[in-house]
Structure 1
Amino acid sequence: MVINKVRHGKDTSNWATGMIKQLSKSSIEVWTGLKQRLWLERRVLITSSTVAACIILLRCTGLLQSWEWAALDWFFRLRPSPPVDDRILIVGIEEENLQKYGWPIPDRVMAQLLQKLHSKKPRAIGLDIYRDLPQEPGYAELQKAFANIPNIVGIEKLKDKTSDGVLAPPALSQRKQVGFNNVVIDADGKVRRSLLYSWVDNKLHTSFSLHLALIYLKAEGIEPQAAKGTNYLQLGKTVFKPFESKDGGYVRTDDKGYQILGNFRKPSIGFRKISMRDVLENKIPQDWVRDRIVLIGSTASSLKDFFYTPYTSDLVKSAQPIPGVELQANFLGQILTAAQSGQGTIAVWSDSIEWLWILVWSWLGAILIWRSRSVASSILILFLAGTSLIACAYLAFLAYWWIPVIPPLLALVGSATVITAYIAQLKEELKRSKEFLQNVINAIPDPVFVKDKQHRWIVLNQAYCQFLGYPFNTLIEKTDYDFFPSHEADIFWQQDELVF
């Protein structure tokens, strides 16, 4: 900024001495300006760090948990659909099957179904139907089928807070061909995690999906083992790191048992499906069963064996749950994919990295707004930054990483809002300073002007306006080139540059 006082008469001072003084003054102003800029930048960083700390504290209270779940669900729905997992076949017990055979399905019909599937040489058969009590007629036939089919796995429901549990079929329980089908449900009613193991009454139980996966993988030469240096389960290329209460968007969540984050497929095209009636009538291709895992379970709406997953959410339509047997197919498919390809398990960051991530976006929001020149550009920059954040999180999700979206987004917007308010305050202070300066210099009888770095007059007193012969509104924010010949304006410009 140039502040000049115009005097009449010849300058009798030494030119060299004047130049030295001007250069010295210029250096002092530059250093002072630099210190002021550093102080302001420091205030920006302190402010944005404070905003980030508040967001981190808010996240730790769990108030952002449901928003993080919603973001995760959205990523699932945006993700390109993988091909159908033909390693798994779902045999559904539909409404028409109930009308024909009744419910519960008689043991004789169930025995026939198992025998027909076994004849097509599946690698494993999973019976996702409770069979702890006889369902005559045909109980003896079903027990015989259980005894003669070596690769069948039944289900049990473990005792929990809401239920006393359901026992497994005795014949399968004796042969230890049983897995539990208990499901972990989040506070919003959706399933986003699966259980691999659970401890009840100091006894280790294996899940239904994991038991079937171990049978399938054994034929591939993959056996369960403890990961090196830990007691984590390793299958093939993947170590299944247990879910912890603060993983991903979760806060203080029950992490009992051996849980993992679920990786779900789109319900409509995730797995091959066929009706129980078609199997009994031999209307099933041989290659759909051979060396596959067959899951038998209810898909009839009247039996109400349904669960909500990230895919069963929609902003327009009402959420549609999926059958329990399809949920088990998702758990099973995730384990198989992870063991065979090393992909499929969703990883998360540690708390310290997540906090740094939030802090970085808070800093970015503050710095971008601080250096923005207008409200329109600020809005555009903030929009682009938010879009980039979401894009980064989505790309990470495609690589099976769940990183925070909502906390850094709030930090970005929050710090930008605070800095915007701070800039508005500074502008108001500048406006009052200019008004005060204007009042002061108007009282000076000699002509006085103030220029900015674009060499525009930004403050003029009335004496200077009279000196040039133009009114204030005509001169303000104009330059010497608008009122003087070019050769004179060039001299004024050079003199201003020396001061700058």
Structure 2
Amino acid sequence: MTNDDYQVGGALPLDATNYVVRAADQELFQGLRGMRFCYVLNSRQMGKSSLLVRTMKRLQDQGFACVEMEMRDICSFQITQEEFYGTMVSHLVSGFELDLDEGEWWYRYGYLSPFDRFSKFVDEEVLGRVAGKIVIFIDEIDSILNLEFKDDVLGFIRTCYNKRATQQKYQRLTFALLGVATPSDLIADNQRTPFNIDSLAIELKGFTREEAKPLVRGLEGKVPHPDAVLQAILNWTGGQPFLTQKVCRLVCQTVGEERHIDYLTKPALLRGNYSQSLVDQVVRSHILDNWLSQDHPEHLRTIRDRVLSGYQDKQWVLTLYHRILKRKKVPADENNLQQQLRLSGLVVKRGGQLQVANRIYASVFDRHWVNQQLQPIPSPSLSLPWWRVIAATVGVTVLVMGMRSLGVWQSWEFQTFDWFGRSRQSEEPDQRLLLVQVTRQDIANLGNEYPLHDRTMRQLLQALDQYQPQLIGLDIYRDRPEGKGQAELIEYLKTRDRVIPICTHPNHNDPEGISPPPDIPRQRLGFSDVITDSDSIVRRHLLAMNPPQPSNCSAYYAFSSQIALRYLQNQGFSVEFPTAKQWQIGGIRFKILNQNPGFYTASQVKGHQILLNYRRTKEIAPTVTLTQVLNHQVNPALIQDKIILIGVTDPSVKDYFKTPDNQDIRGLYLHAHKISQLISAVADKRPILQFPPWWIESLWIGTWALSAGLINWRISGLVYRVIASGIILISIGGVSFIIFITLHFFLPMTPFIFAYLITNIFLWKRQSI
């Protein structure tokens, strides 16, 4: 063994002679060998990477198929789900040496969500092509913490374990997670977490004296009594792998330098104190003295930064650490503060108590260092003038409302709005509608006839028309001849008042738009234009707009509006001519967004728009297929007096839209939701989602800003302030949610929170001067 065999940082190579085998090695190997889900969640530089390399090699020697995925390399900044799961697939292909083109495979199933594609790949390709037992190692798992979809990543592991009960092939697959995190950091939902299944937590501890024996070989021939020197090293490092390797190397380097040749002649060393004295001097001169400048590779600074990350938590974590330093008994449990401190590596659990991990840490991060970090925070003064509280409240309210009008908080408000919407109760499908789907099988039955020929379209309309539906919405473009029969189809459409075709206005993606069928009057047309938000999600219902000029599409009403208005008029409801402020249908008023755009900017709400209130149901309405209609296999009761919507659902036809439920739906279903929204609001008194008047929003924001001012004015203690702020923030979310569920107004929770926090910061700084 040479000096270089002591590796400081990084995974040890497989042939390293100084690898220290610990109890964790056998625990992880046996756990994975038994196909259990295992995880190693510890502080940094505890030897996780070396453990992974060794365990993978041992499993491969026994015929296991193993692959390692490094999350730090995959989880780049702002990575999308598409990129994340696509990269995962690429790693599995290369790791298992699968003979397939992952790019072609990935895009072949583009109609599925990225998560479903990844699941399908593991199910069909990994488990289908890789023989024997499979172990997937996921290293640096803490890198996924900033992903919005991290719960889905960990939930996938639980799904694989659940499938073991019904699909035997999943009994060949298991996972091992390694990283710096707690199970609660990774996923909090007990229904999706993999940590409460048959899992095995592997705890990496420092080297014991017996385990560290392989390190003696590097000291032999360089120092007298190498066993005693190693024990002196462990006395300082507590067996911490990184520090132990580092001090071993430093000792070897030190005794090899010429200026230390006289060590053996020094009286103190000849009296039998050589081993401890040598190690003491090496540690103090090469690690403790000016530790910031000598911390290479970085280790102590990593611990410091983790302990000091987060202003509020820092106070409590340092206070807890201070108690441990003073040797007060602190029973180890699983609360967040203790977990945060233990993940830093600064303290460990021994005998059910928390203790400083080693003498080096205790010497660097001593009481003096803690006291420096715990400098007294200026207490708020009770003499804060009341006029300053009022001025801060008004100023912050104006600032926040101004920023809101510019869309500054929009992305956060989108997420809150979506979460509120997903929290509502489920509803029944709308039985007033029938959806006629043109599926992939329908197209195949017609001899791969797509687009549908005009003759087929006329046959479909005639088959439906004979059962006297109220209206037929044709969500299929007929702007040009398709196959044979155009003249007959056009003549049929001209004589059937109940059929509503579509067209599309010009837009930046299609400067010309799409024309309607020839000779169809404007009064029977509906445009199919859809408005999406910046995150590509449809949250708004465009009711009507003046056609841009020039335009081949002359429709004023949306496809959904045209159908819903005609249906409601047939049912005896009055329809007032729409104004710029509202629509009145029967006794229901629909307030147009351009009068109060809420979290939208004024430029985003052109035309007549309202918030889209999706029906909370798995299926919006009953569905049948084109083939069933043409073969007269549909119950006439599903058609008579109903609204019929015809659209293509073949996945190869790109007509998908994102919803607040994080799902992609076809345009046919989106139109059905819009039609159902209008009809249900009038006929069933189903709630209408809307924003409150701007003055109510301003007053509400001002109320929470004032509450922050009052807390700063009247409460001086930091602990009481934290408690009061927590209650306020919880109240903001709770009140906003209750108002949304009961009154169906969306109050802007995000601006409320920012108003509260900005007021706190403003007044806090003022008081500290």
Mark yes or no: TM-score above 0.5: yes
Say whether residues 1:251 and 2:601 are aligned partners.
Answer: yes
Shift of 1:422: 6.2
Bigger RCO (CA 8 Å, 6+ sep): 1
Q: 1:362 aligns with which of 705, 708, 723?
A: 705
Q: Distance in 2 between matches of 1:284 and 1:304?
A: 27
Q: Distance in 2 between matches of 1:286 and 1:214?
A: 24
Shift of 1:231: 7.2
Q: Secondary structure at the match of 1:290?
A: coil
Match in the other structure for 2:546: 199
Shift of 1:96: 1.7
Q: Any idea what the Cα deviations from partners look like across 1:69-114, whole Å, max 9, x if unmatched?
A: 2211111111212221111221112222222222101222222221
Shift of 1:146: 2.2
Q: Distance in 1 between matches of 2:397 and 2:642?
A: 50
Say whether residues 1:305 and 2:305 are aligned partners.
Answer: no
Q: Distance in 2 between matches of 1:80 and 1:232?
A: 28
**CA gap 1:392/1:271 in 2 versus in 1, 3 angstroms:** farther
Q: Distance in 1 between matches of 2:463 and 2:719?
A: 69
Q: 1:384 aligns with which of 724, 727, 736?
A: 727
**CA gap 1:254/1:40 in 2 versus in 1, 3 angstroms:** closer
- Greater strand proportion: 1
Shift of 1:175: 7.6
Q: 1:217 aligns with which of 551, 568, 579?
A: 568
Q: Any idea what the Cα deviations from partners look like across 1:154-185, whole Å, max 9, x if unmatched?
A: 001122333211111125x1484211111122
Q: 2:756 aligns with which of 394, 401, 412?
A: 412
Shift of 1:148: 5.1
The percentage of counterpart residues that share the same residue type is 29
Q: Any idea what the Cα deviations from partners look like across 1:104-143, whole Å, max 9, x if unmatched?
A: 0122222222122222221111000001212123334433
Match in the other structure for 2:516: 168
Q: 2:501 aligns with which of 129, 134, 154?
A: 154
Q: 2:400 aligns with which of 52, 55, 62?
A: 55
Match in the other structure for 1:137: 484
Q: Secondary structure at the match of 1:379?
A: helix
CA contact (8 A) 2:396 2:759 kept: yes
Q: Any idea what the Cα deviations from partners look like across 1:19-58, whole Å, max 9, x if unmatched?
A: xxxxxxxxxxxxxxxxx96754444443444443433333
Match in the other structure for 2:584: 234
**CA gap 1:211/1:53 in 2 versus in 1, 3 angstroms:** closer
CA contact (8 A) 1:382 1:413 kept: no
TM-score by length of 2: 0.46
Q: Secondary structure at the match of 2:594?
A: coil
Q: Secondary structure at the match of 2:603?
A: coil
Q: Any idea what the Cα deviations from partners look like across 1:364-383, whole Å, max 9, x if unmatched?
A: 13324554464444333323
Q: 2:640 aligns with which of 259, 280, 290?
A: 290
**CA gap 1:49/1:215 in 2 versus in 1, 3 angstroms:** closer
CA contact (8 A) 1:214 1:223 kept: no
Q: Distance in 1 between matches of 2:423 and 2:580?
A: 35
Give the letter aligned to residue 645 of structure 2. L
Match in the other structure for 1:493: none
**CA gap 1:378/1:274 in 2 versus in 1, 3 angstroms:** farther
Q: Secondary structure at the match of 1:189?
A: coil
Relative to structure 2, which stretch is displaced further, 218-227 or 61-70? 218-227
Q: Distance in 2 between matches of 1:176 and 1:48?
A: 52
Shift of 1:404: 1.0
CA contact (8 A) 2:526 2:555 kept: no
**CA gap 1:50/1:206 in 2 versus in 1, 3 angstroms:** closer
Give the letter aligned to residue 615 of structure 2. R
Shift of 1:241: 2.5
Q: 2:694 aligns with which of 327, 351, 370?
A: 351
Give the letter aligned to residue 93 of structure 1. V
Q: 2:614 aligns with which of 264, 267, 284?
A: 264
CA contact (8 A) 2:522 2:555 kept: no
Give the letter aligned to residue 401 of structure 2. I
Match in the other structure for 2:439: 94
Q: Distance in 1 between matches of 2:525 and 2:746?
A: 32
Say whether residues 1:281 and 2:631 are aligned partners.
Answer: yes
Shift of 1:239: 2.4
Relative to structure 2, which stretch is displaced further, 159-168 or 281-290? 281-290
Q: Any idea what the Cα deviations from partners look like across 1:470-498, whole Å, max 9, x if unmatched?
A: xxxxxxxxxxxxxxxxxxxxxxxxxxxxx
Say whether residues 1:400 and 2:727 are aligned partners.
Answer: no
Give the letter aligned to residue 235 of structure 1. I
Match in the other structure for 1:66: 411
Figure out how many residues of one structure are paired with residues of the other and give that number.
381
Listed as ranges, the gaps of 5+ residues in structure 2 are 1-380
Match in the other structure for 1:455: none
CA contact (8 A) 2:469 2:642 kept: yes
CA contact (8 A) 1:247 1:349 kept: no
Give the letter aligned to residue 197 of structure 1. A
CA contact (8 A) 2:412 2:750 kept: yes
Q: Distance in 2 between matches of 1:140 and 1:378?
A: 77
CA contact (8 A) 1:237 1:340 kept: no
CA contact (8 A) 1:65 1:251 kept: no
CA contact (8 A) 1:370 1:420 kept: no
Listed as ranges, the gaps of 5+ residues in structure 1 are 1-35, 314-319, 427-500
Q: Any idea what the Cα deviations from partners look like across 1:382-433, whole Å, max 9, x if unmatched?
A: 233222222222222232212211101111233344555667x49xxxxxxx
Relative to structure 2, which stretch is displaced further, 90-99 or 374-383? 374-383
Match in the other structure for 1:335: 678
Q: Secondary structure at the match of 1:234?
A: strand
Bigger radius of gyration: 1
CA contact (8 A) 2:405 2:600 kept: no
Q: 1:326 aligns with which of 662, 666, 669?
A: 669
CA contact (8 A) 1:226 1:232 kept: no
Q: Secondary structure at the match of 2:565?
A: helix
Match in the other structure for 1:208: 559
**CA gap 1:60/1:255 in 2 versus in 1, 3 angstroms:** closer
**CA gap 1:242/1:231 in 2 versus in 1, 3 angstroms:** closer
Give the letter aligned to residue 676 of structure 2. G
Match in the other structure for 2:534: 187
Relative to structure 2, which stretch is displaced further, 193-202 or 129-138? 193-202
Q: Any idea what the Cα deviations from partners look like across 1:440-463, whole Å, max 9, x if unmatched?
A: xxxxxxxxxxxxxxxxxxxxxxxx
Match in the other structure for 1:108: 455
**CA gap 1:157/1:365 in 2 versus in 1, 3 angstroms:** same
Q: Distance in 1 between matches of 2:491 and 2:727?
A: 66
CA contact (8 A) 1:123 1:215 kept: no
**CA gap 1:50/1:230 in 2 versus in 1, 3 angstroms:** closer
Q: Secondary structure at the match of 2:536?
A: coil
Q: Any idea what the Cα deviations from partners look like across 1:268-322, whole Å, max 9, x if unmatched?
A: 33222222222223332333222211111122221101112222x2xxxxxx321
**CA gap 1:257/1:59 in 2 versus in 1, 3 angstroms:** closer
Q: Distance in 1 between matches of 2:634 and 2:734?
A: 43
CA contact (8 A) 2:711 2:721 kept: yes
Q: Distance in 2 between matches of 1:287 and 1:377?
A: 66
Q: Secondary structure at the match of 1:83?
A: coil
